[in-house]
Amino acid sequence: MTDSPAFRVPLDPSEQPILDRILHIRDNLSILKGDRTSYVKSSDVLKYYNQLIEQVEQLNRIRETKRDEQNRVDTVLDDCFQLISLFFLTIGRNQEAPAVYSAISTVKRLLDHLKEAGFYSPHDLTSISQHIEQWQAAVTQGKDAHSPHLLTLLNARIDVCRERLHELQTRLSSLDPEMMGTYEKLVSILRSLSYCNTRSKFPAKEVKEYEDQLLQIQAELHETRIVHDGKSAEQVYAERLASLSLTESEVTDGPTVVRALLARCLLWVEVITEKQGKIDERFQDTYDKLIRIRNNLEQMNLTQAWSLRETDLYSFQRQLDRIDESRVNGNFLDTEGRPADLHAQRTLLYLLRKSYAFIYQYIVSSEPVSEALLPIYNQLLTLKRCLVEVKRSGGVDSPRELYPYSMKLNSIDNMKKDGKFMVGNDIPEGQASVSALLAECFDLAYELREESQKDQEDETPVSNGVSVAG
C-alpha cells in the first residue's frame, strides 16, 4: 500500500519499532477490510484500535520535546485511524469518537475546496454545521471511554473546521432573502455547467439552455455582459478569481456578491464552450483518474443502502488525498512543474470537490447499525416506506390487504432470540435501531388496520327491524 503524501524527515531510530508495529496493524486492517466472507465484528475492530492507541501513547512519550515532527510514522498512523474510523461506522458505532476521525478529515478538505472554488450554497454550510456539532458531542461524550490523545486531536480538527465554516458563512451574511434566492440559483447553474464540462460528450445544447437562464437573470438584475476585447474569457475569469482572493477577508454587499457570481457563470460558459470538454493533455491522466473516482462514487449512490461497506470509501479517500496533496500552492502541476491553465485547474478542482462531497454524503448517511444487521434494517426501511405510502394514499379497503406486511414483520420479529437479533453467538451493534424501526412498522400496520376496520363499521347499514324478504 502506498503511503499518503506528507512531510518526510529522517526517522528517529527509536520510532522504528513503532513504525513496524503500526505497519503490521495497517496490514491487518487492510486484510479485514477486504474480507467479504463474513461481517466485521466489533471485537476485531476494538482489538486493532487498542493496539493503535498503545503505539500513539509510546510515540507521544518519545516526542515530548518535538511535538511538531512529521515523518512516515505519522502518515501510516493517519492511514490506520482513517481505517479504524470507517470500521467504527461499519460496525454501527457511529456515535463514538473514533468514528469522527474520517468524517472530520473529509469535511476539512471539503471546506477548503469550497473556499477555493469561491462559490457554495448555504445548504452546504448548514449540513456541515449540523454534523460538526454532532461530532463534537460524540467526542465530548467519549472522554471516559477513549484515549485523551485521540480526543485532543479530534477537538483540534473540529476547531479548524469551525473556523473555516464561520469564514464561509460570513461571506454570505450580506445576502438578503431575495438576493439569496438568485445566488442559490447561480450556484446551481455553475455546478451544472461544471458537470456538463466533464461529460463524456460535451452537451452543447444543455450548456446553451443554462446560458439562456443566466442571460434572463442578467436582464432581471439590469446588468450587461462583460466585454473582454483583447483578452480571453479564461484571462478575465482568472482576474476575477485573483480579485476574489484579495478581498476574501471583507464582507461584500449582497448585490455585488450576486453580480460577481453571475459574471463568473457567463465567463465559464464561454470557457467550456471553447474547450468542448477537452482538457489540457498534460493533465489528461489526472483528469481520467478523477473522472473514474467520481463516476464510481456516483454509481455507489444507487446501491449504497444494500451493498456499501463504509471501509470501501478508504481507497477513494486515499487516491483523492494523494492528488490533492500533490498540488503546489493550490496548483496542479505537470511533470515539468508547470501549472495547468485555468480551465484544467477549475475542472480538476471541481472533480476533487465533487468526489469528496460524495464521500461526505456516504459517511453522514451511514446507519448506526452493524453490517450484520443491515439486511434486516434495510428490509424494515423498505417496509416502513411502503406502509407510509399506503397511509398517505388513503389506507387500505380491508385489513386483509395488510397480511403480506404483517407476515413479513412477524417473520422478522421471530428472528430474535431473547429479544436480540443474533448472528451465531454474537450480538451485533445496532439492536436498538433495528428494534425501534420494527416497532414503528408494527405501529403503522396497526394504525392502518384500525382505520380500515373503522371505515368498514361506518359503511355497514343499520337494520330498522323491517323485513325485506318477499
d(CA 62, CA 20): 15
pLDDT at 423: 83
Lookup: cell for 344 = 484544467
Helix (H) or strand (E) holding 420: strand 420-421
Predicted model pTM: 0.86
- The pLDDT tens digits along the chain (470 residues) read 444 444 455 577 888 999 999 999 999 999 999 888 888 999 999 999 999 999 998 988 888 777 667 788 888 999 999 999 999 999 999 989 999 999 999 999 999 999 999 889 999 999 999 999 999 999 999 988 898 889 988 999 999 999 999 999 998 888 888 899 999 999 999 999 999 999 999 999 999 999 999 999 999 988 887 777 667 878 787 777 776 543 444 556 788 889 889 989 999 999 999 999 999 999 999 999 999 999 999 988 776 555 678 898 999 999 999 999 999 988 999 999 999 999 999 999 999 999 999 999 999 988 889 988 988 998 999 999 999 999 999 888 888 899 999 999 999 999 999 889 988 888 898 999 999 999 999 999 999 999 888 877 766 665 554 443 33
d(CA 92, CA 99): 9
Per-residue pLDDT tens digits for 330-360? 899 999 999 999 999 999 999 999 999 999 9
**Residue closest to 267 by CA, chosen among 222, 219, 235:** 235
Q: Is 465 left (phi over 0), alpha (psi -120 to 50) or beta?
A: left
Is residue 104 within 8 A of residue 152, CB to CB? The reply is no
pLDDT at 396: 87
Count the Cβ atoms, other than its own, within 10 Å of residue 26: 21
d(CA 339, CA 352): 17
